[in-house]
Amino acid sequence: MSGVAIDPVDAVVARVRQVYARWGRGTTPAQMRQDWDSLFADETFEAEVQSVVIAGRPCDWVIAPASSDAVLLYLHGGGFQIGSPASHRELMAGLSAAAGCRVLGLDYRLAPEHRFPAALDDAMTCWDGLLAMGLPAARLAVAGDSSGGGLALSLLLALRDAGREMPAAAVTMSAWTDLGASGPSQASHAATDPINQRALLVAMARAVLGRDNDPHDPRASPLYAELHGLPPLLMQVGEREIVLSDSQDFAAKACAAGVDVTLEVWPGMVHVFQQFPRELPAARQARQSIGAFLRRHLPTKGP
């Protein structure tokens, strides 16, 4: 009797849930971060990794073969509490190969030890560090997933509001743009999202914002900002996610403000599915779409 084939999305979800199942009230942030990094530690990739310090923060250069001089600044996800360049090295390597550019993963400060706006301050400082290295803004792009996707958008808004040069383009994956968790998909997709639920996002937002910050502050929740003057933007999100409307609403608002926005809703996909290329053909296809987008918008001098 032959075995029943396991749906690849279910296999991915099972891997994530195995990590969640080990966490309880007594689990320390340090343990959760170690577990999350370990979830992706066995992924193999073809890229050079260099650990560096830029503007006082640890970072990882991830450089696939034949990468040009252009740079993608990558801001990892994890609810502003877990995740690191280590948990996202394979994804960054895949993006480096797809886009033909170098990727810099920023190890920004995490909550609850460092609350808002620590992560945004670190992203801005790292941006300044890249410019100080002689890299022109026109050959820089910004990307991020989940909370890192929201952080990437917050960085764009902070640069615009300061009258600074913008990157050539930006990419988000499953972006968390509303820390108030008020989007319609929070309820409508509660039964279809096997990874996130609204109560989890509310708890994460409380941990990063503390008592003194408003979840509707546009610096923390870019969905509530004025969205004019942003660079070309690609937003990818899974069809099953409770944060689906975070990307849909942001894309619609940005488009109405005159921003060049491409929104891709991937059928049947879950939160940051792009991190699972071994199991999911859609992850590999989504990475290629990101690569094609960045190659169109990110001028280079060649390898």
Catalytic residue list:
146, 241, 271
Q: What count of Cα atoms within 13 Å lies in the side-chain half-sphere of residue 156?
A: 34
User: Using H for helix, E for strand and C for coil, what is the string for the chain?
Assistant: CCCCCCCHHHHHHHHHHHHHCCCCCCCCHHHHHHHHHHHCCCCCCCCEEEEEEECCEEEEEEECCCCCCCEEEEECCCCCCCCCCHHHHHHHHHHHHHHCCEEEEECCCCCCCCCCCHHHHHHHHHHHHHHHCCCCHHHEEEEEECHHHHHHHHHHHHHHHCCCCCCCEEEEECCCCCCCCCCCHHHHCCCCCCCCCHHHHHHHHHHHHCCCCCCCCCCCCHHHCCCCCCCCEEEEEECCCCCHHHHHHHHHHHHHCCCCEEEEEECCCCCCHHHCCCCCHHHHHHHHHHHHHHHHHCCCCCC
User: What strands, in cross-sheet order, belong to the sheet with 140-145?
Assistant: 48-54, 57-63, 102-106, 71-75, 140-145, 169-173, 233-238, 261-266
State the Cα–Cα distance between residues 253 and 231, nearest whole angstrom.
14
State the Cα–Cα distance between residues 149 and 201, nearest whole angstrom.
15
User: Do 170 and 156 contact (CB within 8 A), yes or no?
Assistant: yes
Amino acid code (one letter) for 79: G
